[in-house]
Amino acid sequence: MTPSVLIVEDDPKIAALVRKNLEAAGFACRVAGDGHTALREVAADLPALIVLDLMIPGVDGLEVCRRVRRQTQVPVLMLTARSGESDKVLGLEIGADDYLTKPFSTAELVARVRALLRRSAPARESALVRGALEIDLERRTVSRGGEAIEVTTLEFDLLVFMAEREGRVFTRDDLLAHVWGEDRVVDARSIDSLISRLRRKLERDPAHPQYLQTVWGAGYRYTTPAESG
């Protein structure tokens, strides 16, 4: 999925410049013009990375970084006019992962964002084991209790996406965007059909699913049954 970046910057021109270059590099961006808005954005939908100005209205950038760091390890790139060594040291000590001073090179900004995301990305498992269900990510195979389950490419991609985010509820649009992409020509019924086919293959009783559960009015979630044998 497209990595999301929260840009915390009160200067509209700089915010627009940063957003334009990061979106051109393939990132999905949101902008917060003050510290209070930034903290609300982080709480509502945790980004993959935060580009954070220090001198912003409301809660300043240093305090935003402190509060973010108490709750999450999301990478923080400080982008500020404060170029003194003591400012850099303080920013890094309170939890920033990198520090870029203004004026800055947009190419360097993009490179640093990419580097931070590479460093923060967890090593992917070679297999997902969820109770009796085993999903081999390298061989792209699925088995339950040692018994192979034949799945299609779309079914495999959907299953991996949901199993890696166990317990999270996804709308049909979320799942459509992941499996078919933003330029899809299919509709929500395609997800319902895909889920139904997977249930027939995975579930002991597809009429009462344990792995792929419907959350009425919201969408679907993946759950590992307490007893999956």
In the prediction, which pLDDT does 122 show? 62
Q: How confident is the model at residue 124 (pLDDT cuts 50, 70, 90)?
A: low
Tokens representing residue 176 in the block: 């459509």
Closest CA to 74 of 137, 4, 8, 26: 4
CATH numeric code, 4-120: 3.40.50.2300
- Sequence spans of domains, the chain: 4-120, 127-222
Per residue in 4-42, pLDDT (tens digit) is 999 999 999 999 999 999 999 999 999 999 999 999 999
Cis upstream peptide for 206 (omega within 30°): no
CATH numeric code, 127-222: 1.10.10.10
Cα 113 to its chain centre, rounded Å, is 15
Characterize the bridge pairing of strands 133-136 and 141-144: antiparallel
Q: Is 174 within 8 Å of 225 (Cβ atoms)?
A: no
Question: Comparing 124 with 105, which gets the higher pLDDT?
Answer: 105
Tokens representing residue 186 in the block: 């299919």
Average pLDDT, the chain: 87
Q: How far apart are CA 43 and CA 7, in angstroms?
A: 15
Q: How far apart are the first and last CA of the chain?
A: 32
Q: How far apart are CA 129 and CA 11, in angstroms?
A: 47
Tokens representing residue 209 in the block: 């699913």
In the prediction, which pLDDT does 142 show? 93
Q: How confident is the model at residue 83 (pLDDT cuts 50, 70, 90)?
A: low
Per residue in 177-225, pLDDT (tens digit) is 777 765 455 567 788 888 999 999 999 899 999 999 999 989 999 999 8
Burial 34-43 (b: 16+ CB within 10 A, else e): bbebbbebbe
Question: What is the CA angle 118-106-73, rounded to 5?
Answer: 35
